[in-house]
Amino acid sequence: MGMLSNYRMLDLGRFMAAPFAAHMLADMGMDVIKVEEPEPRYGMARDVLTPYEPTPEGERKAAAYNVLARNKKSIALDLLRPELRPRSQEVFYRLVKDADVVLEGYRPGVVKWMGIDYETLSKINPRIICCSLSGYGQDGPYAKYPGHAGQFGAVGGAVNLDAEGYPGGAAGSAAGYVNGLYASNAILGALLERERSGVGQYIDVSMLGALMSMTMNDSVRYLRDGVLPAPAQRRPAGLAFLECKDGKWITTGNAETAFWEAFCKVIDRPQYIPLHRATGAEFDAMVEDIRALFKTKTREEWLALLWAADSAVAPMNNVAEAFDDPQVRHIGMAWEMPHPSEGTVRQIGSPMTFSRTPVEFERFAPIIGEHTHEVLESAGYSAAEIADLEESGIVKSWAGDGWVGNTVAPGAPAPASARS
């Protein structure tokens, strides 16, 4: 039996991020039950490794190679159609009584609409841990906007806008994996905490936060030295990145038909709707026309129009802009803390948000050997034994002049500036 065999998860995840999080836990022995809609929705498959409306033969072949769904079970339960409630809810509620975790990746507000939000489920099972994987976070100025990895990464500076203002690369297939990794770790942390408290909690892990955490090299160089990435080698093609009148860029991700139609209508180009997945000269001409069109309005003007139309679009922030973006600050990804020698220091926050046990900042990275004595003492070593270890070169402790340590008060919450 696996190390997590005593735990059960109800997995409502789709696409990549949530299925990947559940996949890692299932491989560690967790009893993961996929709660799936009986019919495909929104033109998308159950996950990225399952064909959309496959034949029975195709389904069997996909299942044989589907790593994301490995070691899981599946129940087809329709929680989306209101006319099937409350019976479908009653089934889910019964499952929740014996579950430890509920995982979902719907847009904010959907699980409440379905009647399976944390507030409802925790009344049925106070030990339940609910984890949401969202794009921008559950609330904040961008929370309800649609998007994909390209948009979430762009807001967080993960698209790598360089010092000259040009995009050099997008958040790609790794985005879902990173989001899933954070989610699985957060779930494990909540399960461990529940051993002490006896109660569950709600977790939200945003892809914006997860992708922003991947910018660590560029972010630290900017925050510490004021240096932005080197100029990109070439400008991107297609409609993924569009330059606006003010020289700023936006990113679009209108893979779904509804988003593409909204995009074409709001830019007053309904004739392009049939070219959604086209190639060739006609498509290239459309791209050039749209590129020219976007240079007639500023980024803020385009964003207001496109977001109002429910089109998947986002501002492309460089690292500096990302730390001042209202959504980034709202979800607590921009931390500011006093350092004993460096003054005010800014860092990337944590994308994991817990309802009852928030992420805490305890100390900056230690100087080498700073806590040698403390750790050895806690392990039961006497002062004489520690001195002998140190004299023998087995251990080393820090003895810098005037250093008072960089540990803050135990259990200190995330910096106040993290949430504006």
Give me the residue spans of the domains in the chain: 235-316, 368-402
Name the band, by pLDDT with cuts 50, 70 and 90, for residue 385. confident
Quick one: tokens of 288?
């050039």
Mean pLDDT lowest among 58-62, 101-105, 299-303, 328-332: 58-62
Mean pLDDT on 226-251: 78
The answer to whether 6 and 99 are in contact (CB under 8 A) is: no
The answer to whether 414 and 359 are in contact (CB under 8 A) is: yes
User: Which amino acid belongs to residue 24?
Assistant: M
pLDDT in tens, 6-30: 999 999 998 888 999 998 899 888 9
| Cβ count within 10 A of residue 117 | 18
Enter the CATH code of domain 235-316. Answer: 3.30.1540.10
State residue 405's pLDDT score: 47
Mean pLDDT on 306-313: 93
State residue 175's pLDDT score: 79
State residue 409's pLDDT score: 40
Instruction: Write down the number of H helices and E strands in the chain.
Output: 16, 12
**How remote is the C-alpha of 414 from its chain's centroid?**
18
Cα 339 from Cα 181, distance rounded (Å): 30
As beta bridge partners, residue 314 has 251
Query: Quick one: DSSP state of residue 334?
Result: E
Whether the per-residue pLDDT at 186 is higher than 90: the answer is yes
Name the band, by pLDDT with cuts 50, 70 and 90, for residue 111. very high
59 membership: H or E segment, kind and range = helix 56-65
User: Which amino acid belongs to residue 2?
Assistant: G
Whether the per-residue pLDDT at 364 is higher than 90: the answer is no
Closest CA to 14 of 32, 29, 34: 34
